[in-house]
Amino acid sequence: MISAPLELKIILVGNATSGKTSLSKVLRGEPFNSKENSTHGIQISEWLLSPTELRNILPGQADMDLQETLRVNIWDFGGQEYYHGTHQIFLDNNAVYVLIWDERHNQNSTVPTELFFDNESVVVPQEHFHYRYWLDSIRHSASGQTSGMPPPVLLLQNKVDLQNGQPRFYDANLLKRYTVDHNSAIRLKYARARKAPDRRYR
Ligand SMILES: Nc1nc2c(ncn2[C@@H]2O[C@H](COP(=O)(O)OP(=O)(O)O)[C@@H](O)[C@H]2O)c(=O)[nH]1
Ligand SMILES: [Mg+2]
């Protein structure tokens, strides 16, 4: 009998420069780049987790009967996709969504924004949205109407190091309305120090 491989699709969603590519890299053990190049198109990266690694990052699951490697496909969209709406066709029900936002650009506005191309800084007008827009967009494209269950969404506040390390917490009703599972904050200093994953993300 051939058993299906353990596989999971993570879709990173959020404003340009919110930190999607940085998160994808840090999860996969790649170093943080303070001049991360702006993403073109869609980048799909493979994050392989051995049974031991899985046990380590799933608190309280140490005795889980895990024997297979988990293949996580991380879908990371470049900024242009949002304007043209092309990402919509890739948003499906069979995925875990991670919505990344940062305080500075958490509003519907077009503002000069620093991007990096080949490590060169370029400031260009960039359209940003409040995280409510992204929640609507996810729930519109992946409502769970066909599968019966809306896909999980994790709401992750990034760049808290620029807010004196203070994450902001949310309106519980809003989270309930959009069936958001967790609120989290990435702490860059942990990512930089490459501490254990459960300390890096909370
Ligand atoms: N200070 C700070 N900068 C960050 C953090 N995460 C990402 N960055 C930087 O913000 C810029 C945009 O990040 P990037 O991952 O390319 O965002 P993306 O457009 O959503 O993929 C890059 O220069 C990153 O180095 C963070 O937590 N803190
Ligand atoms: Mg990117």
Looking at residue 134, which CATH number applies to its domain?
3.40.50.300
Task: Note down the domain range covering 116.
Answer: 6-200
Residue 103, domain member (yes or no): yes
pLDDT at 139 exceeding the cut of 80: yes
Closest ligand to Cα 39: 2
- Residue 18 CA to ligand 1 center (angstroms) comes to 6
Q: 10 Å Cβ neighbour count for 55?
A: 15
pLDDT in tens, 105-138: 999 999 999 999 998 999 999 999 999 898 888 8
pLDDT value, residue 79: 72
pLDDT band at 191, cuts 50/70/90? very low
pLDDT of residue 192: 42
Output the pLDDT for position 83.
60
| DSSP H or E segment with residue 57 | helix 51-57
Which of 25-29, 168-172, 174-178 is modeled with the greatest confidence? 25-29
Lowest mean pLDDT among 32-41, 111-120, 153-162, 173-182: 173-182
For Cα atoms 124, 34, 95, give the angle at the middle one, nearest 5 degrees.
Answer: 85
Ligand nearest to the CA of 14: 1
pLDDT: which is higher, 154 or 61: 154
CA of 69 to the centre of ligand 2 (A): 26
With respect to residue 114, please indicate whether it lies within any of the assigned structural domains.
yes
pLDDT surpassing 70 at residue 163: yes
Closest C-alpha to ligand 1, atom 25: 34
Residue 152 in domain: yes
Residue 1 within a domain: no
Residue 31 DSSP label: P
- Mean pLDDT along residues 145-170: 79
CB 3 within 8 A of CB 65: no
Q: Quick one: average pLDDT of 52-65?
A: 73
- Tally of domains within the chain: 1
Spatial strand order in the sheet of 70-77: 42-49, 70-77, 6-13, 96-101, 153-157, 180-185
- For the chain, the C-alpha Rg in angstroms (whole number) is 17
Q: What is the mean pLDDT of residues 176-202?
A: 47
Q: What is the pTM of this model?
A: 0.84
- Alpha carbon of 76 to ligand 2 centroid (Å): 7
Spacing, Cα 23 to ligand 2 middle (Å): 9
The fraction of the chain above a pLDDT of 90, given in percent, is 38
What is the b/e burial string over 77-105, where b = at least 16 CB atoms within 10 angstroms of the residue's CB? bbbebbeeeebeeebeeebebbbbbbeeb
Decide whether any atom of ligand 1 lies within 6 Å of the 39 Cβ.
yes
Structural domain contains residue 193: yes
At 199, the pLDDT band (50, 70, 90 cuts) reads very low
Q: Which atom of ligand 1 is nearest to the CA of 32?
A: 25
Res 193: pLDDT:
43
